[in-house]
Amino acid sequence: MTDDDETELSPSNSTNANSDSTGKSKKIRSSDSVESLTSTSELLMLAKDAVNNSEQYPIDFDQMVEFMEKVSGETDILALVRSFTNDTQGVINLLHDVYNVVPHKSIKNKCRKIQRRIRKALLSKDSVSADDLNLSTIVGESIAYTNIASLLAKYDDFCAFVGRDEPSIILLTETWLSSSIPDSLVSIRGYTLFRRDRFGRRGGGVCMYFANRVLTNFKIQPISGDFRGIEALFLGVHSKTVSFVLGCVYRPPSSSISDDKILIDFIKATYVNLYRNPKGSDPIRHHPLWI
């Protein structure tokens, strides 16, 4: 099965029975069977007006259909994208929006797989252009942030949100975690947790969750720092192509201007250190990106 095969086998109240190579019966959802007999153009039809009437997308509806029909047999995904447009990020944005508009499972799966193939191809290149250095291009479909004000108390709701939206990276402030709360109590399946708890008193704390699908392309390096009255977690994120720093900062109401200066000085110093390329590395590959 190739990366873009979309057939999904699962039990359902409405099914068609087929047999696999072992002779065992499989059940395929009838909706999937119908989609397999429906043209790509028809499956994408709900997105047609939005694509053709917007200037933000680099290709029109007919080009989008042609692109998605050619993907399965194309080994060089970036070459395929650039046969239509040089705006790689625009194509990723288009696929993201189509995913949200079109209800068909097969199209949703294809949109996500194409986005991930494009990102993987960009990260495996020996160099990458400045136009491709958009954070969402690099790490995934979405980055989520909230001041959660007690992660443990809202853990079930938080898990429901993550299961529904599947963000690539999640940043939380006021986690209210402490050394007495192990990672296992706030872990999320498919994600890796990085945390910095408030020490010595209740409340505060920051953390980040990285989807494991993102970590397959990156090495994460925590960056230590003493921010006094400000609580912050900074992570160096490195791949073959790019390096950047991602920070999650909580500034309590009691923080002072001197605390702000310490944080700003830390950010400036970290920026300078990141901009200095590792010994022997190609300068094109390391670009500091900040959010």
Number of neighbours of residue 143 by Cβ within 10 angstroms: 16
Domain co-membership, 279 together with 165: yes
Residues 6+ apart with CB under 8 A from 7: 28, 32, 36, 106
Domain residues for the domain of 215 are: 137-285
pLDDT of residue 96: 86
Do 179 and 202 reside in the same domain of the chain? yes
Q: Are residues 281 and 148 in the same domain?
A: yes
Q: How many domains does the chain have?
A: 2
Q: In Å, how far are 57, 68, 205 from 71, measured between CA atoms?
A: 18, 5, 44
Backbone phi, psi, residue 193, to 5°: -100, 135
Q: Would residue 22 count as lying in a domain?
A: yes
258: CATH = 3.60.10.10
pLDDT of residue 33: 53
Is 192 in the same domain as 225? yes
Instruction: List the end-to-end C-alpha distance of the chain, in Å, as a whole number.
Output: 38
173 occurs within a structural domain: yes
Mean pLDDT by 10 residues, the chain (291 residues): 40 42 47 67 93 91 94 90 90 89 91 86 62 58 88 95 90 96 96 94 94 86 89 88 85 92 89 61 46 43
Q: Is residue 177 part of a domain?
A: yes
From residue 251, give the alpha-carbon distance in Å to each of 86, 136, 236, 256: 41, 25, 21, 9
Q: Is 175 in contact with 195 (CB distance < 8 Å)? A: yes
C-alpha–C-alpha distance, residues 214 and 194, integer Å: 14
Find where tokens 């099965």 sit: 1
Same-domain check for residues 191 and 234: yes
Which of 101, 124, 147 delimits the end of a domain?
A: 124
Do 221 and 253 belong together in one domain? yes
Domain end: 91, 124, 157, which one? 124
The set of long-range contacts for 74-79, using a CB threshold of 8 Å and a minimum separation of 24, is 76/121, 77/114, 77/117, 77/118, 77/121, 78/118, 78/121, 78/122, 78/125
Sheet holding 219-223, edge to edge: 219-223, 231-238, 243-250
Quick one: pLDDT at residue 35? 60
Secondary structure of residue 88 in the 3-state scheme:
helix
